[in-house]
Chain A
Amino acid sequence: MEFSAQNLACRRGDAVVLSEVTFAVSQGEALILRGPNGSGKTTLLRCLAGLTPAVSGSLSFSPDDVAYAAHADGLKAQLTVAETLRFWAQVFGTRRIEAALDAFDLRGLMERRTQTLSAGQKRRLSLARLILTGRTLWALDEPTVSLDTSAVAQFAAAVRTHLAGGGAAIIATHIDLGLRDAATLDIGQFRATQSVAHDPFLDEALS
């Protein structure tokens, strides 16, 4: 299966920020999104995850194939690591929290409340959630923020395992994850142009 986008246009707030986004990722492949801050990486990922409906264009997959990991960790300070993972496993109807614990080396932290974790540990916990979703396409927004070198390696290994298992990933990141033959997509080239950012209130001004 191939995950592709054709001439996708995405909006953020009232403005269309991306247009003509076209890419394809096959199973077993990763796509790295690059681009300066504010170029629309988050906007694109939210669009792929189905949070923001696309203005135009088409996707070859449904949002139900996508596991989205946002900038925010989405963790509750009062829950323990095991409770957090069990909760998401139940929501996604999977039972494999052991795999997630092992992939991010969280076994020793199982009974700790999230509020006592360091920023990097929280990040690892929130990434471990991805394994529980059981979904094919990972859409990750700056996943390596506050991770140290060894944790980045863990994360890269988890991504490789996911790819080897027939998954795919679209990752917005600035660091080199050491993923061999990962394609790179520069988001800057898709910045919406005026003609595409059709605004009904500019009709008269344009004519």
Chain B
Amino acid sequence: MIALLRRDLALAIRAGGGFGLGLAFFLILCILVPFGVGPDSGTLAKIAPGILWVGALLACLLSLDRIFQLDFEDGTLDLLATAPLPLEAVATTKALAHWITTGLPLTLAAAPLGQLLNLPAAAMPALVLGLALGTPALSVIGTFGAALTVGLKRGGLLISLLVLPLYMPTLLFGADAARRGAEGLETTTPLLLMTGISAASLALLPFATAAALRMNLR
């Protein structure tokens, strides 16, 4: 598993697009929103939690179809499936690699971008903590979507349709935590609920992902 993780990270760094693309997209989205809604700082502060979370979600979505597609096309996935490593472990490792290249940089970038959107300082801990706890779920769920569509030519569009409804609960609790933080309310409940979703997804979804991969390789 560690070997696979290291290989995936090396590929993401050397091929480009892994680290950079999602992050750049997130940045551009956060810069574009003020142009759309106007520079009024009160309005921006109000919608900032939602923008940051939706932006993180879309940035995550951007690199999902690469998780298995490249390995499927060049035959590596066949070889991994015949290797002693169970596909469940492959699925978990792929999700972890996706999180390190996408979720983690997004979490780190959220604080400065929050400043850009005039997010109240009180909301910052809930936002960053929420992203740190919630983005793993986004990667795990996304990996499942990628496994469903791996054999398809036009999988990229379909993956958004399949994955976005599954992202709903995470988005809802995550943005809610940040919003409550901004209003000075208790943020523990939504954060805990979201952590529950992340933990349950991480524990259970790799089995569904591996099953979908096996079905696709047949």
Direct contact of A and B (CB under 8 A): yes
User: Which residues of chain A have a CB within 8 Å of any CB of chain B?
Assistant: 11, 46, 49-53, 63-64, 66-68, 70-79, 83, 86-88, 90-93, 129
- In angstroms, Cα B217 to Cα A74, docked, is 14
When the two chains form the complex, which single residue of A70, A86, A90 contacts B75, counting CB atoms closer than 8 Å? A70
When the two chains form the complex, which single residue of B6, B85, B217 contacts A51, counting CB atoms closer than 8 Å? B217
Q: 30 A–B contact pairs at CB < 8 A? A: A11-B218, A50-B81, A51-B82, A51-B217, A51-B218, A66-B82, A67-B82, A68-B78, A70-B75, A73-B74, A74-B76, A76-B74, A78-B10, A78-B14, A78-B15, A79-B7, A86-B3, A87-B3, A87-B4, A87-B6, A88-B83, A90-B2, A91-B3, A91-B83, A91-B84, A91-B85, A92-B83, A92-B84, A93-B84, A129-B79
Taking the closest CB of chain B, its distance from the CB of A70, in whole angstroms, is 5
- In angstroms, Cα B83 to Cα A50, docked, is 11
User: Which residues of chain B have a CB within 8 Å of any CB of chain A?
Assistant: 2-4, 6-7, 10-11, 14-15, 73-76, 78-85, 217-218
Chain A residues, Cβ within 8 Å of B11: 76, 78-79
Does more than half of chain B's interface fall in helix, strand or loop, or is it mixed?
A: helix
Chain A residues, Cβ within 8 Å of B73: 72
Q: Other CB < 8 Å A-B pairs besides A73-B75, A75-B74, 5 of them?
A: A49-B78, A49-B82, A51-B81, A73-B74, A93-B84
Q: Which residue of A lies closest to B77 (CB)?
A: A74
4 tightest A-B contacts by CB? A72-B75, A90-B3, A74-B75, A78-B14
Chain B residues, Cβ within 8 Å of A92: 83-84
**Contacts A64-B84, A91-B84; is A74 near B79 (CB within 8 Å)?**
yes
- In angstroms, Cα B179 to Cα A173, docked, is 64
Chain A residues, Cβ within 8 Å of B78: 46, 49, 51, 68, 70, 72, 74
Chain A residues, Cβ within 8 Å of B83: 88, 91-92
Chain A residues, Cβ within 8 Å of B84: 64, 91-93
The answer to whether B79 and A70 touch across the interface, beta carbons within 8 angstroms, is yes
- In angstroms, Cα B7 to Cα A73, docked, is 17
When the two chains form the complex, which single residue of A50, A72, A83 contacts B82, counting CB atoms closer than 8 Å? A50
Chain B residues, Cβ within 8 Å of A70: 75, 78-79
